Amino acid sequence: MTINSLEFLLFVAVTIIAYQCIPKKAKWVVLLVASYLFYFLNSAYLTIAIIITTLSIYFVALKIEKIDEKAKVEIKNIGDKEQKKQIKKKAKSKQKRVLALGILFNLGILIILKYSGFIGENINSFIHILHINIEIPIAKFILPIGISYYTLQAISYIVDVYRGKVKADKNLGRVSLFLTFFPQIVQGPIGRYDKLSGALYEPHNVTYKSITYGTQLMIWGYFKKMVIADRIAMYANEVFNNYTEYSGLIIVFGMIAYTIQIYTEFSGGIDIIRGVAEIFEINLDKNFERPFFSKSIDEFWRRWNITLGTWLKDYVFYPVSLSKASIKLTEFSRKVFKTSYLSKIIPVAFSLLCVWVCNGVWHGSGLKYLVYGLYYYLIMMFGKILQPLGNKIIQLFKINTKVWSYRLWQMLRTSGFVCIGMTIFRAENLQTAFTMLKSILYPYDLEKIFNKEAFLLGGLSKVDVAILIVSMLVLLGISIYQEKGESVRNWLKEQNLIFRWLVFYTIIFAIILFGIYGPGYNMQSFIYGQF
């Protein structure tokens, strides 16, 4: 049951009706039952995986809090300061061990189900290099939906309990709902317990306003997914699946097409998810802030998959930065490089390396995903290292960095780097990605490139190309308006009723008339829904 199916819309409608009919105190139970039913319909017996994860973090959090409470009771009866310190230190050590066990247990489930095949293949390859006649059997597992998302949410919960940011919830049902909330479980956004728990458990009324605002967001998400993403995917799939037949600009067009596809699909999916949640008056975190207006790769990743980035910052970057290894590295770099720029960059480089290795591996189990993460890491580090030189060049040639042409250059440069990164992400393997990137430099057949056939690959017609151009101009126009700090919703609210509904119906009919669906159509599953 994908979120771009009629079954999903029917499921949402039934849940809304049930939510409204149930007494206030039990409304969250409706969401819990609906979430588990949705999960079971999509993963069947694999639902056991998320149940195990839920139970593990529930008991780990309670244990961490129990240790803390016991230490506080002991401290009350003791007057000696040194003894108090020892009790606190001992309690913290116990909490760390329990936390580590909880993290390792849940990461272990993720590694076994998602990465064991990749690890086994590489071990066998290494054994063969040593000419040892042994082969480790490789088990292939079917992944439960959203395992990468709910595992990160699970870890964030127990870490936040350990840090004292949230209290351990004694209600198992509420912890379960936090992990399984049915719109969110598909492809994020990755939630935090302190922000999401209250919204999930507090009773809300489904109102005309919540339905209107939620539906608006859903319609816009379906427009991006069904009209743009699924249509341009036809071109991208043709180029990537038959890359040996093309070169030059056609490969470039394919790279751009896939980049547009993954953005409109992922952001469109998040819009649908946030729209469904908004109907229940639950506000999920934004996951995109118009990333292609970014002037650097750093900024791009602050605007793209925001909740993953902030999770990695809070639970990988900061802990690594404060670790003993990082502190020693900082001391070493200051000793060697004194007060130079490099003395500040090296410790950051170590922490960022851990972040981008995790980012790459989180996306998948193949080597290309690790390279995908390291690719962005290297660009960021080169940018940081060369920043002083860049600033000197700007001053030397008196370049006006505030003019629109310079900003446009920065955005195009960043988008170019992103297209290369997305090619690594999309290609079947690293060799395919490198072959495609290398083929860009092949001699151009200008007659073939500017022939209409170059734009009509993958079964696209002239009408499809026209629809793509118009729909992407609409997306660009709205994005520019939002980038100026304006709200499309507020603007629509100020318009008269007839005009508002005309806009809504125009988008709905655009989805019905120009969306990719129907008999003979192989529904495109969400790329990020596979994690």
pLDDT of the residue at 505: 86
Token digits of residue 448: 């073939």
**AA identity, residue 293:** F
| Residue 289, in any domain of the structure | no
Asked if residue 451 and residue 474 are part of one domain, the reply reads yes
| Residue 432, in any domain of the structure | no
Asked if residue 76 and residue 42 are part of one domain, the reply reads yes
Q: How many other C-beta atoms can be found within 10 angstroms of the C-beta atom of residue 2?
A: 15
Total tally of structural domains belonging to the chain: 3
| Residue 290, in any domain of the structure | no
Q: Which of 152, 418, 492 is nearest to 309 (CA)?
A: 152
Picking from 375, 398, 426, the residue at the C-terminal end of a domain is 426
Asked if residue 375 and residue 279 are part of one domain, the reply reads no
Say how far apart CA 505 and CA 499 lie, in whole Å: 10
| Residue 470, in any domain of the structure | yes
Helix and strand numbers (H, E) in the chain are 23, 0
Asked if residue 177 and residue 91 are part of one domain, the reply reads yes
Q: Which of 240, 526, 530 is nearest to 364 (CA)?
A: 530
Say how far apart CA 110 and CA 99 lie, in whole Å: 17
Picking from 191, 206, 231, the residue at the C-terminal end of a domain is 191
Asked if residue 18 and residue 112 are part of one domain, the reply reads yes
Three-state secondary structure call for residue 41: helix
For residues 101 and 67, the answer to whether their CB atoms sit within 8 Å is no
Angle, helices 497-514/462-483, rounded to nearest 10 degrees: 140
Q: What is the CA radius of gyration of the chain?
A: 26
Residue 79: domain span: 6-191
Asked if residue 340 and residue 244 are part of one domain, the reply reads no
Asked if residue 261 and residue 150 are part of one domain, the reply reads no
Asked if residue 365 and residue 228 are part of one domain, the reply reads no
| Residue 404, in any domain of the structure | yes
| Residue 202, in any domain of the structure | no
| Residue 48, in any domain of the structure | yes
List pLDDT tens digits, range 48-70: 999 999 999 999 999 999 998 88
List pLDDT tens digits, range 219-253: 999 999 999 999 999 999 999 999 888 888 889 99
Asked if residue 327 and residue 267 are part of one domain, the reply reads no
Say how far apart CA 29 and CA 17 lie, in whole Å: 14
Picking from 191, 210, 231, the residue at the C-terminal end of a domain is 191
pLDDT < 50 regions, the chain = 519-524
pLDDT of the residue at 523: 47
Asked if residue 24 and residue 87 are part of one domain, the reply reads yes
Asked if residue 322 and residue 274 are part of one domain, the reply reads no
What is the separation, in whole angstroms, between the first and last Cα of the chain?
A: 16
Asked if residue 406 and residue 302 are part of one domain, the reply reads yes
Positive or negative torsion for Cα 276, 282, 283, 287: negative
**What DSSP string runs through 311-369?**
HHIIIIIHHHHTSHHHHHHHHHHHHHHTTSHHHHHHHHHHHHHHHHHHHHHHH-SSHHH
* HSE, side-chain direction, 13 A CA sphere, residue 384: 18
pLDDT of the residue at 520: 45
| Residue 35, in any domain of the structure | yes
pLDDT of the residue at 305: 93
